Chains A and B, each alone.
Chain A
Amino acid sequence: MLQPLTVVLLVATGVVCLLAVHHLWRRRLVDDPLVLVAAATELGLVGQLVVGLTKASAIGDGAERATFIAYLFTVLLVLPAAVVIAIKEKTQWAMAVVLGAAVVVAILLARLQQVWTLNA
């Protein structure tokens, strides 16, 4: 859809991943840097939602368009939910949750791009 935005978002997701691995390694729990990077990524994802919704009409097939829009919204839920779960957890599993969430966001970004290129 908007390739530069997708690339930026993938990089941001990568930073969340690296930070989670770092924290896991150093036995740290959720702290300000992690929350800030996750929040910045989330902001980018909201931007993607806005761009995606304005461009969604380019997808002709109704079901594919619904899928595309559903992904746009779903991807917004993953990071906040993961951070909330991770804050509650006081062992290293907290970072495992954040790491998993970042991977899922990356997969959803790839799926969004795929749905777009196949149908628009």
Chain B
Amino acid sequence: MPDNASHHDSVPADFRQERPHTGHGFGRLLVAVYGLLALAATGRSILQISEYFDRAPVSYVLSALAAVIYVVATVGLARGDRASVRLATIALTVELLGVLVVGAISYAVPSAFPDKTVWSHFGSGYGYVPLLLPLLGLWWIRRTARASAASGMGGGEPARSTD
């Protein structure tokens, strides 16, 4: 078949009913975005701490903390087993609290954060993605947990996928 590339060569991408997994379907996008944030925050904090840490130590320590949280969230969501999801839930909760507290402080006491972090001003420097993402992530974890409970998996322990 020389001409198989032009006609319907891929399976129609309908939403197959599969076992709920935090790293599949919409979760794939979530993992991709968290992975990107992990990369960005890690790179940024390495630069800040190595090049000019004295300028704003509090901001830079927070950037590093955010980087660690993003890494944990990415890995946790991607793995999707019970312990990983619990870890991701903790990471996302800390992230949400962090962005709320740091965001509020950065408006109330601007001098506390002389240089920007991913969380200052509720993440406005990053299109408010740092604020929206933990909300979206926690919603998604809740949704997959409920779906797996409803599908009679008892306790919602999804089998580790082998791919």
Contact = CB atoms under 8 A, between A and B. Distances in A.
Contacts, number: 69
Contacts of B10: 28-31
B39 A74 contact: yes
Interface of A: 27-33, 62-63, 66-67, 70, 74, 77-78, 81-82, 85-86, 88-97, 100-101, 104
A77 B26 CA distance: 21
A27 B13 contact: yes
Given A33-B5, A63-B51, A97-B32, A92 B13 contact: yes
B19 interface: no
Given A91-B15, A92-B13, A81 B35 contact: yes
Interface of B: 5, 9-16, 24-26, 28-29, 31-33, 35-36, 39-40, 43, 47, 51-52, 163
A25 B38 CA distance: 30
B157 to A, nearest CB: 22
Nearest to A92: B13
Given A85-B31, A88-B28, A31 B5 contact: yes
Contact of A90 (B16, B36, B39): B16
Given A31-B10, A32-B5, A93-B25, A85 B32 contact: yes
Contacts of B28: 85-86, 88-89, 93-94, 96-97
Given A70-B43, A81-B32, A94 B5 contact: no
A99 B163 CA distance: 23
B144 to A, nearest CB: 13
Nearest to B48: A63
A83 B11 CA distance: 17
Given A91-B15, A93-B25, 11 more contacts: A27-B13, A28-B12, A62-B51, A67-B47, A85-B32, A86-B28, A90-B13, A93-B26, A95-B13, A97-B28, A100-B29
Contact of B11 (A29, A66, A86, A95): A29
